[in-house]
Amino acid sequence: MPGRTVIQCDLEPVAGSRFQPTGFPDLGAAVFDRPNGNGVQRSLLVESAQSMAHHLAGTLWDSGADEPIELIADLPWIKVVAADDQRYLTSSRTESHRLASAFVKDSLLDAESMVDVIKKRLRLRDDTPLAPREIARAIFSLDPLCLLHGVFFADPRWPGQPRIARAITGMVEAYDVSEAVSGGVKRDLVRHALNRETEGGTQEGYGTVPFQRVEFTAGDITASFVIDLDQLDSYGLDAAARDLLEALALYEIRSLLDHGLRLRTACDLAVLDGGRGEHPEAKVLAERVRSGVEAVRELVDQPGARTVEWGGGKARTKGKR
């Protein structure tokens, strides 16, 4: 497809045939009808685009060390620490809203509010049209992965409230699905009966409690990924920066597929043999990323982490009340 890289592969449960899909408040599992040429086919959303964004970004994050993997250690990102004792809290790589996270914008960088830092960096001004390419370059210098996974500066303190859509989108769907209803019981071998005089009930974890669960089986499970190459081009970045973003997107997809998709406790999926198609191997993509990181060193004013301090709420300039 012109302007897009599309990668699809078939999946299967690692063990057995049942799996647990993502669930939504007041909805539960997202079941839908899919046209298949002979009518409709009962289908299921196994993992949403927003959830897959976190799984993809997670391939570049070392959760044990709370920092990016060595491969991209020199790319810019925002590290949020507590103002009182400098303990690590979160980052622009792990927050759902990335650079626009409350923990980022309500922090201080060298005594200046991050709301103001980002406003100046993105050159946001009242009564002035947004400059998308300047914004993209500024975001690249703060955290390039925001240009892959999207960021929405939804705060009235940021004039124009610029939005970057996802340039990489992933999802997992299942087709020809049926419910697999089962259940179990949480047993209490100590407290055999609950009564009004007994302190602690089921809400506190006491008592024997039966439960029901609904999983699914499927004729086919498919993971789909789309990289919007036109969007990467639209940023107007230096060729090295643009190519690095594409390499990062491909590396994330390949890493996710190579290491399996354990999306939740009862949803552990693996790629069927031959399902990766023409997708380059991880070591090839890793070398492309490594070369790209080296090539963009001069395009960022500070490699690695910028450390900001979060004081527990709205950012206040140090020394002021």
Measure Cα distances from 239 to 100, 131, 177 in Å. 26, 19, 44
Residue type at 253 in one-letter notation: I
Counting as low any pLDDT under 50, the low residues of the chain are 317-321
Identify whether 55 is part of a domain.
yes
Question: Does 32 fall in a domain?
Answer: yes
Cα 68 to Cα 62: distance, rounded to the nearest angstrom: 6
Cα gap 260→181, rounded to integer Å:
25
210 occurs within a structural domain? no
Which residue(s) pair with 79 in the sheet? 91, 307
Q: Could you tell me the CA-to-CA distances from 82 to 63, 65, 97, 118 in Å, in that order?
A: 18, 17, 19, 20
For 68, phi then psi, to 5°, come to: -65, 155
User: For the chain, what's the residue count?
Assistant: 321
Residue 47 lies in a domain: yes
CA-to-CA dists, residue 130 to 241, 272, 304, 316, angstroms = 21, 45, 27, 27
Q: What is the crossing angle of helices 282-295 and 239-258, to 10°?
A: 150
227 is a domain residue: yes
Q: How many structural domains comprise the chain?
A: 1
Whether 225 is covered by a domain: the verdict is yes
Range of the domain at 152: 4-180+215-310
Q: Quick one: pLDDT at residue 318?
A: 46
Give DSSP secondary structure letters for 143-173. Answer: -TTHHHH-EE---TTSTT--EE--SEEEEEE
Whole-angstrom distance, CA of residue 141 vs CA of residue 164: 15
The secondary element (H helix, E strand) that includes residue 250 is: helix 239-258
How far CA 106 is from CA of 83, 136, 198, in Å, comes to: 12, 22, 46
**Residue 129 forms part of a structural domain:** yes
The two tokens of residue 164 are 């970057």
Closest CA to 266 of 219, 217, 220, 222: 217
